[in-house]
Amino acid sequence: MMALPPPNSVPGEPVPSRRALIRRPSPRVADGLVTHVERRAVDPRVALSQWKAYGEALRAHGWETIEAEPADDCPDGVFIEDSVVMFRNVALIARSGAETRRPETAGVEEAVARLGCSVNWVWEPGTLDGGDVLKIGDTVYVGRGGRTNAAGVQQLRAAFEPLGARVVAVPVSRVLHLKSAVTALPDGTVIGYEPLVEQPSLFPRFLPVPEETGAHVVLLGGAKLLMAASAPKTAELFADLGYEPVQVDISEFEKLEGCVTCLSVRLRDLHT
């Protein structure tokens, strides 16, 4: 039987990829960093089973998951989004503002290079975590906060503006990363839990959500939104707006200030 083209493909155009890079949690995941929350015990076995279910949810919605080399010595390695920022086929390897997280990038660099990405790097004195970068079309919002400094913002501009990105810097102080405060719906509406968003007016369209963890969505394609099970009221709000929430329990990662976005890097613009 002939394979059908993926949804949203344009005849004659290369087919956008739906690959997601993930990394299994380290056995030391319970030692992950906490900055804005009190430390709570993390069960590594529960974390592993939640991570497996997260990958399953991606695959069930048409994403091919690709595992980066495990980084068992890095407690926060599972939060792979922080190690790399993608724009088109260019991978910008991050340099975390948390020094202990810097060894995480090696295996990620290798994985994106193997996938055919062009690779670029954030250099000293720049620091940048991928969790600070929110892409909406060609607009790239970058949080200037605890993990990303001004040199990191400049280097992001230098890497992506020549490719057509418009980089918008946003101050972040109430949360770990920009994407701890805001992400975006498929139509580009920025969503956030207002007490944690410093300047909602920086975004052209802003929709407040009723729960902190409701501010985080991964766009699975079409109307489907991957989100945390800990935000049921927000899931109801999104369903009422015509979206289809797909909820996953990521409680162990939430204890470490992680959210649904940070457990994968979606590679949409690598043409197969």
Ligand X SMILES: NC(=O)NCCC[C@H](N)C(=O)O
Binding residues for ligand X, rule: CB under 6 A, are: 32-33, 35, 76, 79, 81-82, 98, 101, 131, 176-177, 179-180, 256-259, 262
Residue closer to ligand X by CB (options 227, 272) is 227
Cβ 193 to ligand X shortest distance, Å: 14
Residue closer to ligand X by CB (options 217, 262) is 262
Residue closer to ligand X by CB (options 107, 131) is 131
Residue closer to ligand X by CB (options 81, 252) is 81
Residue closer to ligand X by CB (options 229, 239) is 229
Q: Where in the sequence numbering do the catalytic residues fall? A: 177, 262
Q: Which two tokens stand for residue 85?
A: 């920022």
3-state secondary structure the chain: CCCCCCCCCCCCCCCECCEEEECCCCCCHHHCCCCCCCCCCCCHHHHHHHHHHHHHHHHHCCCEEEECCCCCCCCCCCCHHHHEEEECCEEEECECCCHHHHHHHHHHHHHHHHCCCEEEECCCCCCECHHHEEEECCEEEEEECCCCCHHHHHHHHHHHHHHCCEEEEEECCCCCCHHHHEEECCCCCEEECHHHCCCHHHCCCEEECCCHHHHCCEEEECCEEEEECCCHHHHHHHHHCCCEEEEECCHHHHCCCCCCHHHCEEECCCEC
Cβ 256 to ligand X shortest distance, Å: 4
Cβ 85 to ligand X shortest distance, Å: 11
Give the nearest residue (CB) to ligand X. 131
Cβ 132 to ligand X shortest distance, Å: 8
